[in-house]
Structure 1
Amino acid sequence: MLLACVASGVQAQAPDPAASRIDKVTLYQGSATVERTLRVPAGAREAQFACLPAALDAQSLQVSGDAGLRIGELRVQTTERALASTCASPLEAKIRSLQDELANVAAAASALKLVDRYLQTVAGGTAAEGSKAVPAGATQIQATADALRRSAEDGQKRAHQLQRDKEALELRLKPLLAERERTAGQRSRVVSVQVQLASEREATLRLVYQVRGPNWQSSYRATLDVDTSKLRLERQAIVAQASGEDWSGVQLRLSTGAPARSTQGRLPPPWTLDLVPPAPPPSPAPVMSLSKGAAAPSAAREANLAEAPLPDFEVQTDEGAYATEFAVPGRTSVPSSGERVTLALGAVDAQVRLLTRTAPAMEQAAYLVAELARPSGVWPAGPVALLQGTRFVGNGRLDFAAASADTATTELAFGRDDQVTVRTDPVQEKRDTAGLTGSRTERTVQSRYRVDNRHAGAIELQVLHAAPVSRDEKIEVSSRYTPQPASLAFANKPGTVLWQQSLAAGASATFAAEHVLSYPKDAPLREHR
């Protein structure tokens, strides 16, 4: 009975039929367009959208309604939340609900203590004042003892469970109290919009406005099947907002556009020329003083610091002629606590090219790389979780904007390939003199690498090597390679040598490079490697 009282919690209040509700949200970079709806009864002359967030942009207000609903002027009013009795913040409502549950748990625990004291009194055989002890037989004594034992055991179990419930509720309440303390001055104001109208019959009134602060980030999940060379790329979005109003069961659209950006580019300022006048003699610095009751100059800065910080998201903007929007299926809820919500936006399956890449001079190890062509549509840059089958291998970044314009592909690295061994011989280096009078130094550097494929099948191998690049006409560089490289400027970086070949199962391959550097004997050589 006592536990049933605790589990019941706070009864939910019926929604106010005169209150508006959020129906649709389009989320941009650092802002959101919110659409609220309100049912207007027949004959109404005025409607009010109350408890709107203080971050609302009044210039963005748009009002519309069903056919036959005539709309007049708008009035926007900003008030303190404490003065609006019906505008308790969502955070405050959650805190009060948890505090009520804690009070129920405390009441149940107190009742259990009272029961426990009564049982102890009965078990001790203490007769009530003015009463006579009634003799009992052995059977009655045994039955009484069993009842006391069961009641005491149930009471202890209930007390333990109540303590657990109390700890769980306090754990949920603690971050909410910290959030309320952190945002004490940020959500203290609310906005209400009054609409003058004429309605002949019941209709729906819609209010659309822009609110600053909400944000979203592209995120991905890439699952590689090495046997079929197929990659499943799942598109996700991480959404967070702290606008002061919960988005509960809304139709959510995510847009790569940015209405908060400037609507036109900057114009070049005038270029003027003038002579600098002589500097005036220095004057003594004025003594700054604040009159009594005047605000300190730092007050404005402190007020700005009190503003709600934007969620720390990096969003890639589509620079095309039009923004791209992603519709989230069904209805979505995003709380106003800044909590991050991850949404699934669909997936594509793509064929990839698997490469085994190594840079032996940097590390004697090989890594598995998947080369992916850009799928159709807009793919903003974002973090990507990488998996081989069901095995999580790490995190990377998907960025088609950084891909080569010629190939329109990007690469995802899936960790070390332990079935490929890489060996590096010690670098051989020797110096000599050259020129008719021995006026030049000639330095020869030799590097040699070996790669073994222990896979059951062939691999596409890439070996990278850094070759010296002269930045001075007095320094001459000649290089010889065995075998001949596929590229001397891998990834458009001169001096990055690429060997590429198919390596059969159980096969080995060696790669060698020799560089001869010739420079003036009396000129010190500066190297950056």
Structure 2
Amino acid sequence: MTVGSAQRWGSTLDSVVVYEQGAVCRHLARGSVPPGGQVRVTGLPRSLDPGSLRARVTGAHGSVREARVVVGAEPLGARTPEGLQEQVEELRNEFTAAQGRRDHQLRLIEEIGALRPVAPARRREDAHRRTPVDAWMELADFVDERLAGLHTRLVELEDAVRLAEHELDIAVDRLARSSTDAPSAHVETTVSAHLVVDVSAAGDLDAEVELELEYEVPGAVWVPAYRLSCRQGAESGRLVLRASVAQRTGEDWTGVSVGLATADLRRGTGLPRLRSIRIGRSQPASVPTGWREPPAGLADLFTGYDAAGRPPAT
């Protein structure tokens, strides 16, 4: 069974521990191990450190014999140049329609704003008539109310025009940078973990097992904030600790258990070199000589210079 034919399992992010710089994420996956034990767990972010991947079986039976990161790439058929051309035409039509609705709204505002009370023409023999102030005020109220609604709608239409224009500009730029040789912008990359699971120790080979995957991601940080509340004259107070977490790992941490650590995730954890202890008469501490083993190949460093001989006299 090859890597491409390995059984695919989906995974979910279960918990995250955020350090001073970086974070450790834990994914859970469940399924039945196929013959051969090769499993491909998907759903991992592209920002993970391949050297930090660790996997284990959470049950008493079974183990993971091999774990490595596999990066796959698949072309996106919806983003071919032909599809981009159709998308540009569709967005251009939407932009034109949005402009038409905006212009129609402007004409309505102009028509309503041009409404004015006009008194009928009076002949000389007619007596002076009283000005219909109430009718004029009703017309003014109608114009104000109508213009308020039209301007509110105009703001929405102008926002729609700007949004349509922005999407059209993005599509036109994507089409201008596209080509027929399927560039990298039209390729979707996926990151998964290829595991070889051994469940020969279990009694039931068809039973479902749960896998736990841990890996490190760099793009995470947290900052503490302290708040001390104390009343005047009181002998005690209240200290509140808050943590602000920021991450750009490419994963959604909504609903995930998040832990915090003040340690440095990138700090080396090698074992220290222990000095020997001798029981007996005290001896003066030996002074380090500063001598170290010469590097390999030092004797052949000037071989070419010696073979060339002396330069000719000038």
Quickly name the TM-score band, shorter chain normalised: 0.3 to 0.5
Higher strand share: 1
| TM-score with structure 1 setting the length | 0.30
Higher helix share: 2
Which fold has the larger relative contact order, with Cα–Cα distance below 8 Å and residues 6 or more apart in sequence?
2
